[in-house]
Structure 1
Amino acid sequence: MDEMTDRIWDAIVIGTGIGGGTVGRRLAEQGLSVLFVEKGPDLGDSRLPASQVELQDADSRLARGAWPSMISAELDGSWCDIDGMIGASVGGTSANYAATLERPEPHDLDDTPGRPHPTGGWPVNYETMRPWFELAERYYQISGESDPLDPQPANLPAPPRVLPKSDAALMEDLRRAGMHPYQTHMAVRFVPDCEGCFGRRCPRRCKMDGRSAGVLPALDTGRAEVVANCSVTRIETDASGVAGLTCRRDGQTLTLRARRYVLAGGGLGSPTLMLHSANEYWPEGLGNRHDLVGRNLMFHLSEIIAIWAGNSKGENGASRSISMRDLYYMQGERFGTVQSMGLVAGYGEILHAMHSRFNRSALRRLRPLRHGLRLPARIAAQVLGQAKLFVGVLEDLPYATNRVLPDPANPELLRFHYDISPELHRRRAAFRKELRAAFRPNRAMFMGQAPELNFAHPCGTLRFGDDPKTSVLDRDCRVHGLDNLYVADSSFMPTSNGVNPSLTIAANALRVADAIVAGLRPRLAAAGQLG
């Protein structure tokens, strides 16, 4: 540890998820010395269940790679505790993600004719981002099929996968109904006998995540190291830049220093740390001179629908195979992607959904009542049978009142306020109507009536832009007013788009890495370190 604390690194990356792992790998491959700082443990290739972490105490949760505390949320005026599946181990939240990495559409970033952008467009347009999307697809070895509705489809680096018969039959049903399904773009490698690790840790490295596609290749360069079980408690700054990180590890306080710092703690974690790092130069929190840090919080709404179609007898579970974008943008409405979830409507999935709703109900403090959910979950599973579950990803829009609210007494607590806006309620109703129509004539049933926010997709809380009065980061994702602090996670996004944010995070992290390298190029060239 003395070597890490005595050394001045070229870059320190806080967090090892999709953003942190990707930016650190790119920096190391370009010749920089990189230190990854991870709050949780390095679990290696161990296989741990992702479910039931909400029942663990803080130490047990962290030992299993989950954030040590539940998230405290004020949703539509009512406080509740939720488990947003926020990761805290090498690989971050991506260690348990479903490995769906899809590009957004051009109108998600650009203010295009006929499809006006809700914020006027991102400061970096789609064509500028295209090479970074392509590089991220290579980093994560994306496989799948081209979207038949895309006039410039992605040239994916890996071939399509072999579909289960029931999925192939369902795709034909959808085509006959006039839809345009394609094979989902996924970060999975072809590993013999791999059982699939969607939604849980992968012991075979067949799923590419922040660890397998980011941290491990960075370590292979010989220019990167990881310090795990290390919590960054403060970012120490002067008037213009970061001077060091104050961290806690094994009960000891240590200071880490670098020439550049990259914050990749997630859409909730990163703004929380910046606000907790207030000092005499930044009394309202780092980058917060205009009260924007933590604001404009967005998620996606998940509309889960069970579909009975095809014959799945003899198949090993359900496959996360099918995507379609027919509903992505309809008659001026911003909806999103529809995808199979890689799940069947079995007992475990139904019980998990019931637990999630219980945790947000007025009965949540009566924990023994949770056990009473098992019987209705079993009855529902018998009634539903083995229906395939699809999810509609409904785009969320930014509102300044939806924001992160750090707890002054507990820096580790992730806390936020969020109100579902009237326009989101309206768009949700329209989206559900189109979803039901899209799957006819197959039998379909929505798995819930109340809006379901995807708490694993927080974004927008440190939005980037050219005007410091309306954004926290500049177009290179450097914090306005701090010349050596960058952000490489979902916080930077001005809008949530209609797809899972993982590929966008990875592509932007590569772009940020190259901006950092460009700034350090004279020093690297003099030292003969350019990769």
Structure 2
Amino acid sequence: MPDTTPEWDVIVIGTGMGGGTVGRALAVAGQKVLFLEQGQAGYRSEVNGLSETFVPEARLKRGLWPTPLSVTLNGKEQSFYAPLGAGVGGSSVFYAATLERPERHDLDDLSDRPHPTGGWPLRFDDMAPWFARAAEMFQVYGSPDDLSAEIPIPLRDPPLLNPVEDSLFQTLRAAGLHPYHAHTGLKRVADCQTCLGVKCPKTCKMDGRSAGVEPALATGMARLITGAQVTRLHEVEGRITAAECLINGETQTFHAKRFVLAGGALGSPRLLLASANAAFPNGLANRSGQVGRNLMFHLNEMFALWPQRGTPGGDATKAISMRDLYFQNGRRFGTIQAMGIRASYGEIVHYLNLMLARSRFAKIPGLSQLTRIPAAMAHKLFGQAQIFVGLMEDLPYAENRVLYDPQNPDKLAISYDFHPELLQRRRSFRKAIWRSMRGHRRAFLGFTPELNYGHPCGTLRFGDDPAASVLNADCRAHDLQNLWVADASFMPTSMGVNPSLTIAANALRVADAIKKESA
């Protein structure tokens, strides 16, 4: 079915942290923006988490990615539901609203990274104004990091600490650490703590939906089409001319002057690979052969930390972040932060079942029911323990990549190998965490390396060399005149923080580049 709408100024494919942000910025500037979102709009009043159901149709209705992620990890195949969204706001509607700025050395210090073009084509000072604008747009609150020599991003005052948080702040400082109130994107601080990690029915959590798509639509310059699975981009003489979609089983095409890919670090490269033609036989924008490669995540080092005995209250904390181990003795570790969950019975069952789904025992019928027994025992053992995570930086290796099979185009698949340097760095990070938490009762919650599948990045990296990168410094495809990327796939390294603020900041920068070109 042909597109009967007028030509749009910009089509944005995906409505997550990057897509929502870039679309809002362009709509506010007076450009006609069309959002194409594969998932459903759902109801604004919905409240659900990431893994409440395993029925594909039910998942899609709840804004969850409908199919399992197929992972070949160190040569072994496994399949499980990854923490990925598929609806208005994408994965960001489920995130914990953590919006941390990276360190200067993340962008500027490149000597120890296995990257043929030297890493980031921009420097920290180039990105600093965009980090500040994103922090204001997402109404970030928190306190400055005492260890940082940089001017802080704009921060609203954080809420008062609850007894558990206050106890942990005191004991961590007594251990010589420097906790600060985590940087969080919540508009109404007092009554919004429960929406961290779940889809929020209010507008208090600032994500790709509430801070991006909805304000864009309110301008009257944007339109949203949901249930629009973009299957192919059409290219003629170095320009994208149309996006081909499946909507309710029918094929429709949409035309625009410019296109922005924001389908995530797994979805965006798959679309380019699926759009191969005579001029680009290996996939659009892929003359470098780098589309889908250099896939990175973060490594999670989860551990339990107990507050002082006799501390009242049982609230979970998301308020604590620390950078004492971020970059230690030349080793790239990362942040340590509270996860906002306690070691409750339900959380332990969920965690054990995720571990089971990724193990060789996953296909044994009924085994998942047996996790309830160790979960009940662990719940009694952990009591008031708070769950923390050490978020360790991943680095780019070409063999880690997104896979695309033309015979099964809807399959979401990746291949990833743990590089020896990553495993060595992980061992050092665990030792550093254990030593730094002296004086606390603590326990690691895992033994094997744990990828954070909610933080994929790097699969369409930007750089100055077209032979070794997919995008230029403005995140426009080297090989295409009117295609930009505004999701986590642009990142040449994963850095040591949650990627959300960086995605939003870069999306604002991409919008600015598009506006300048169209002026």
TM class, shorter-chain normalised? Answer: over 0.9
Q: Which residue of 2 aligns with 1:345?
A: 343
- Say if 2:252 is the partner of 1:254: yes
Q: Which residue of 2 aligns with 1:392?
A: 390
Question: Which secondary structure state, in structure 1, belongs to the residue aligned with residue 9 of structure 2?
Answer: strand
In the alignment, which of 90, 93, 96 is matched to residue 98 of structure 1? 96
Structure 2 residues not aligned, in runs of 5+: none
Matching of residues 203-214 of structure 1 within 5 Å: 203-214=201-212
Q: Which residue of 1 aligns with 2:434?
A: 436
- 1:92-150 C-alpha deviation (Å, 9 max, x unpaired): 000101110100001101137xx755533410111010110000001100000000011
Stretch deviating more after TM superposition (287-296 or 487-496): 287-296
AA at the equivalent of 2:120: W
Cα offset, 1:366, TM superposition: 2.2
Question: Which secondary structure state, in structure 2, belongs to the residue aligned with residue 337 of structure 1?
Answer: strand
What is the rounded CA distance, in whole Å, between the counterparts of 1:186 and 1:331 in structure 2?
29
Q: Which residue of 2 aligns with 1:62?
A: 60
AA at the equivalent of 1:356: L
Cα offset, 1:314, TM superposition: 5.5
Q: Which residue of 1 aligns with 2:165?
A: 167
AA at the equivalent of 1:36: F
Q: Against the structure 1 CA distance between its residues 309 and 89, is the aligned structure 2 distance closer, same or farther, given a 3 Å change threshold?
A: same
In the alignment, which of 486, 489, 492 is matched to residue 491 of structure 1? 489
Q: Against the structure 1 CA distance between its residues 237 and 371, is the aligned structure 2 distance closer, same or farther, given a 3 Å change threshold?
A: same
AA at the equivalent of 2:197: G
- 1:443-470 C-alpha deviation (Å, 9 max, x unpaired): 0000110111000100000000111100
Q: Which residue of 1 aligns with 2:27?
A: 28
- 1:183-228 C-alpha deviation (Å, 9 max, x unpaired): 0000012255435211110112211100000011111111011001
Q: Against the structure 1 CA distance between its residues 312 and 496, is the aligned structure 2 distance closer, same or farther, given a 3 Å change threshold?
A: farther
- Determine if contact 1:5/1:255 at 8 Å carries over to the other structure: no
Cα offset, 1:48, TM superposition: 3.2
Q: Which residue of 1 aligns with 2:272?
A: 274
Matching of residues 448-487 of structure 1 within 5 Å: 448-487=446-485
Q: Which residue of 1 aligns with 2:184?
A: 186
Q: Which residue of 2 aligns with 1:48?
A: 47
Q: Against the structure 1 CA distance between its residues 312 and 291, is the aligned structure 2 distance closer, same or farther, given a 3 Å change threshold?
A: farther
Q: Which residue of 2 aligns with 1:528?
A: none
Matching of residues 10-21 of structure 1 within 5 Å: 10-21=9-20
Structure 1 runs (4+) deviating above 3 angstroms are 115-119, 191-195, 310-316
Q: Which residue of 1 aligns with 2:511?
A: 513
Cα offset, 1:254, TM superposition: 0.5
What is the rounded CA distance, in whole Å, between the counterparts of 1:502 and 1:302 in structure 2?
16
Matching of residues 293-332 of structure 1 within 5 Å: 293-310=291-308, 315=313, 317-332=315-330
AA at the equivalent of 1:474: N
What is the rounded CA distance, in whole Å, between the counterparts of 1:44 and 1:353 in structure 2?
28
Cα offset, 1:433, TM superposition: 0.5
Q: Which residue of 1 aligns with 2:150?
A: 152
Stretch deviating more after TM superposition (345-354 or 259-268): 345-354
Stretch deviating more after TM superposition (266-275 or 185-194): 185-194
Cα offset, 1:356, TM superposition: 1.3
AA at the equivalent of 2:29: Q
- 1:58-103 C-alpha deviation (Å, 9 max, x unpaired): 2111111111101000001110012221100001000101110100
What is the rounded CA distance, in whole Å, between the counterparts of 2:471 and 2:139 in structure 1?
29
Question: Which secondary structure state, in structure 2, belongs to the residue aligned with residue 6 of structure 1?
Answer: coil
What is the rounded CA distance, in whole Å, between the counterparts of 1:412 and 1:315 in structure 2?
47
Question: Which secondary structure state, in structure 1, belongs to the residue aligned with residue 260 of structure 2?
Answer: strand
Question: Which secondary structure state, in structure 2, belongs to the residue aligned with residue 291 of structure 1?
Answer: coil
- 1:451-509 C-alpha deviation (Å, 9 max, x unpaired): 11000100000000111100000111111111011100000000000000000000000
What is the rounded CA distance, in whole Å, between the counterparts of 2:155 and 2:427 in structure 1?
37
Stretch deviating more after TM superposition (57-66 or 444-453): 57-66
- Determine if contact 1:166/1:311 at 8 Å carries over to the other structure: no
Question: Which secondary structure state, in structure 2, belongs to the residue aligned with residue 262 of structure 1?
Answer: strand
Cα offset, 1:239, TM superposition: 2.8
TM-score (norm 2): 0.97
Question: Which secondary structure state, in structure 2, belongs to the residue aligned with residue 207 of structure 1?
Answer: coil
- 1:369-425 C-alpha deviation (Å, 9 max, x unpaired): 111111111111111112001100000010000011112222222100000111111
May I ask how many residue pairs the two structures share in their alignment?
517
What is the rounded CA distance, in whole Å, between the counterparts of 2:386 and 2:16 in structure 1?
29
- Determine if contact 1:46/1:201 at 8 Å carries over to the other structure: no
What is the rounded CA distance, in whole Å, between the counterparts of 1:350 and 1:50 in structure 2?
15
What is the rounded CA distance, in whole Å, between the counterparts of 1:365 and 1:409 in structure 2?
25
Cα offset, 1:317, TM superposition: 2.6
- Determine if contact 1:147/1:153 at 8 Å carries over to the other structure: no
- Determine if contact 2:8/2:33 at 8 Å carries over to the other structure: yes
Cα offset, 1:233, TM superposition: 0.7
What is the rounded CA distance, in whole Å, between the counterparts of 1:366 and 1:425 in structure 2?
30
Cα offset, 1:173, TM superposition: 1.2
TM-score (norm 1): 0.95
AA at the equivalent of 1:330: Q
AA at the equivalent of 1:52: S
Q: Which residue of 2 aligns with 1:230?
A: 228
Structure 1 residues not aligned, in runs of 5+: 522-531
Give aligned-pair identity as a percent: 50
In the alignment, which of 108, 119, 123 is matched to residue 125 of structure 1? 123
Q: Against the structure 1 CA distance between its residues 361 and 213, is the aligned structure 2 distance closer, same or farther, given a 3 Å change threshold?
A: same
- Determine if contact 2:47/2:201 at 8 Å carries over to the other structure: no
- Say if 2:75 is the partner of 1:77: yes
Q: Against the structure 1 CA distance between its residues 49 and 6, is the aligned structure 2 distance closer, same or farther, given a 3 Å change threshold?
A: closer
What is the rounded CA distance, in whole Å, between the counterparts of 1:149 and 1:281 in structure 2?
51
Cα offset, 1:312, TM superposition: 7.9
What is the rounded CA distance, in whole Å, between the counterparts of 2:333 and 2:409 in structure 1?
35
Q: Against the structure 1 CA distance between its residues 237 and 367, is the aligned structure 2 distance closer, same or farther, given a 3 Å change threshold?
A: farther
Q: Which residue of 1 aligns with 2:375?
A: 377
